[in-house]
Structure 1
Amino acid sequence: MPRVTIARHILAANEEVAAEVRQRLAAAGVRCINLMSGPGAGKTTLLERSVARLRGRLAIGVIEGDIETSLDAERMEAAGAQVVQINTRGACHLEAHMVRDALEALDLQRLDLLFIENIGNLVCPAAWELGEDLRAVVVCTTEGDEKPAKYPQIFAAAQVLVINKLDLLPYVDYDPERVRAQALAVNPGLQIFTLSCRSGAGLDAWCDWLLSFAARPPAVPAQAAPVSQEEGAAS
């Protein structure tokens, strides 16, 4: 039977670049959150509201990942964030080299917190480190309450879960407690926020947490050892 040997982990090159990004952000004292969700869950509106509420208290930058257009980046700029747009032209997730290149357009010395708004996708982004300190997943009341059960990998890879669009609960068949239970079954350590960007409910707690998170000093990671052919081999 023919054998195919994978001599190096397929994501090893990406992880090396992610480590570079993390080192650079840590040296500048900037905390970084990789924000992930399916399309339409409200990532951009959450960022828009957060930037506006924290203006004058927290200097926020945003790397906007979209397949096409700069519409979301324009919204972030209007809210008061430093912004860089990445258009992937069809790719379903951001990769670390894209983030590394985007950092060249940001004044990191004038930032406290950097958000990377990933492509709307609950599958691919989970596998790709971008140099973030933390991953947050956004779900919403209009997309069904089975997402943690159906897409467990992205919830397992995250540290924070945001349940958004609570103002629509009277009009949809959605059980936030079911979502919470499913998510905690996948990842018992998840910190969970429930909020509505439209009504403002829950945004104070979210923004207070962002202030606390940004105030923590970044941990500078140790340089990863190279992957040997023996360690990375598979058949």
Structure 2
Amino acid sequence: MPAVSLSLRVLTGAIITALTISGCQTLDDAGRVIGRADLVNDLAARLDRSNELTYSADYQLPGGRTASISQSQDPLRAAYVYPGGKLTVTADATMECDTGGKKPTCTLTAPPAPNSKPAVTVYSEMNKRGLVTPPVVVGLLTAAALDPEAVIKQNDTTVAGRHATCVRVQGLSDAAASAFDACITSEGTLGSFTGTVDGADLEVTMSRYREAVETGVFEMPVGAGVVDRRPTQQE
């Protein structure tokens, strides 16, 4: 199973566990947490189901920049393309490419192990390049569900021709973002996100969705220099 799928499944499980153990509260507080849990679990379930899809989603960023998320099931792999860089995750390796210089450079490392936190850390690094990923959004929604001071409003909309459920979260006291807006499509893809995460201003909106993937998106950039840091295979 690829790291992308595992990271989302682990986060979804963490949501359920965290909300289950928060029983020592007043009835009013419990009702508020349960309401948030229902919303978070629904959105997390959509994100989790998207791991079973083959799709490509293009995103518009500020300043005319673009990004994309692609996922294939046969074979299992995922690719994130963002301004100045690219990340692919397969059963063989995690490949991070810097495409901002004259010559692309790609670093190969072992694919994240099951239940590995570094996988989420890798995705969080993309915030600095302007692309927020589903695991990061799930983490923020989890924080909102557990914060009694958070204000959460929900509405429905359409993004790139797809129905989406949106939440506006404000007043987070202990999270990577104190406020954000996020929309998740019915398929489970990230429709849009606006907020400041770990000091990075992020604004992404899906502009195109396809139930197909171009195989070239998973390949190394032409002429790229390679640094292979994967451990030597032992017989």
Normalised to the residue count of structure 2, the TM-score between the two structures is: 0.28
Larger helix share, 1 or 2: 1
Between 1 and 2, higher relative CO (CA 8 Å, sep ≥ 6) is seen in 1
Higher strand share: 2
